[in-house]
Amino acid sequence: MSRLLLLLVLVTWFAGESATPPALPMEPLARLILIFGGFGLIVLIPALWSRVLARYVATGNLHKSLNRYSWVTMIARMLIPAWFGVCVFGLGWVQVVYDALGSIGKLPLAFPGALIGTLPPLIAWAALWWAAFPADRALREQSLLLHLQDGLPINAPPGFWRYFTANLRMQLLFTVVPVAVILLLRDIPSLILSVGFGVKIDSPRSAASPSTLSMILLPLSAFAVFVFAPEILRRVLQTQPLPDSPLRRRLEQICRRSNLRYKEILLWQTNNNMGNAAVMGVLPQVRYILLSDLLLQTMTDRQIEAVFAHEAGHVVHRHIAWYGVFVVIIMIAMLMLDELATMMGVDLSFMPTWLKDPIILALSVSTF
């Protein structure tokens, strides 16, 4: 859910950037105060609530406190893309960003605008970890006794910086880094062709239909990142090869029986924060199977083998490839919406350009 909300932030920026919606008339300073003040308020309220909860949480009300904690943090996270949408579509944030970029904003580059434009919501997202840390630590401390009673491993709650960097890796960087690489792979040849060879390439803010070259560069960049993303993400996440052991040899045997090829089985270090497994990679040369530290601590070997077999099933049944097909369909729909509508006899002239991408994304996700 967290990564979907972060993707929504990025999609909101790209939708507003492609055709800047009309903004409310306002003084520049008042506009900035309202934009940044909104994000500050979203962070401040959970921060105060978190510190109150940390004072009164106890073993007797642990489950109730945990439910409240989960709800409040989720609502705060949902408010960030919601307020960012207001900033982009109502408060003229896109124009503010491109005024600040100056001559750079006139180049056919998507990365600089996306970097600065999405910085406020991403900083607010990271600030929510600071806001929630007192409650999170108090809840972890109170749960130690329950873990001891249930015979589960006991781990000291992480300090703030370990907590912060773990969330930074698993949530923000895991989502943002692949998108940033896609934009850079699109921007570098665009800049070379535009400045060095005089080829006309649309800027991200162009309201016209994208040129053929623009329609080629972005999907090619996305395809390259989709294929090689596991090499990037295994370094974004804190991973290492799973040490040699009887368990690892049994997992390797499962792969041989399933005819599953892979590059490495990885131990995923989450500071004992997440019990999970995952598989990454369409091609065997860049395919990794991840098992988290908490999962290995809390499950028996037979349970781990069952989870591992489930992840292997994603590869055997080509689920990752189908996700790639889904992404391609969304990109084609966004790039060729007007052409597809004309072919189907649908008139979209009544719809503002900046509304089309969010509508297509919502329809695609709901259909999928």
Rounded Cα distance between 96 and 117, Å, is: 9
Taking CA atoms, 142 is separated from 58, 135, 223, in Å, by 6, 11, 46
> What does the buried/exposed string (b/e) look like for 320-339 if buried means 16 or more CB atoms within 10 Å of the residue's CB?
beeeeeebeebbebbbebee
Residue 288 has what pLDDT? 94
Rounded Cα distance between 310 and 298, Å, is: 18
Task: Give me the residue label for tokens 């309202």.
Answer: 34
Rg over alpha carbons for the chain, rounded to the nearest Å, is 23
pLDDT tens string 201-211: 766 665 555 56
Sign of CA dihedral 218, 16, 28, 43: negative
Residue 354 has what pLDDT? 57
Token couple for 246: 């009887």
pLDDT in tens, the chain (368 residues): 678 888 889 888 987 887 666 778 888 899 999 999 999 999 999 999 888 888 877 656 666 777 777 888 899 999 999 999 999 988 999 999 999 998 888 888 889 999 999 999 999 999 999 998 998 888 787 777 776 776 667 777 888 999 999 899 988 999 999 999 999 998 999 888 888 777 777 666 655 555 667 667 887 888 898 889 999 999 999 999 999 999 999 999 999 998 889 999 999 998 888 888 999 988 999 999 999 998 998 889 999 999 999 888 888 777 777 777 776 666 666 656 656 666 666 665 556 655 665 555 555 554 44
CA 278 to centroid of chain Cα atoms = 16
Residue 266 has what pLDDT? 95
Q: Which residues, 6+ apart, have CB-to-CB distance to 20 below 8 Å?
A: 92, 94, 95, 205, 354
Rounded Cα distance between 187 and 111, Å, is: 7
Residue 72 has what pLDDT? 86
CATH number of 234-320: 3.30.2010.10
Is residue 242 within 8 Å of 265, Cβ to Cβ? Answer: yes
Smallest Cα–Cα separation from 65: which of 135, 8, 168, 154? 135
Residue 210 has what pLDDT? 56
* Phi and psi torsions of 96, nearest 5°: -60, -45
pTM: 0.85
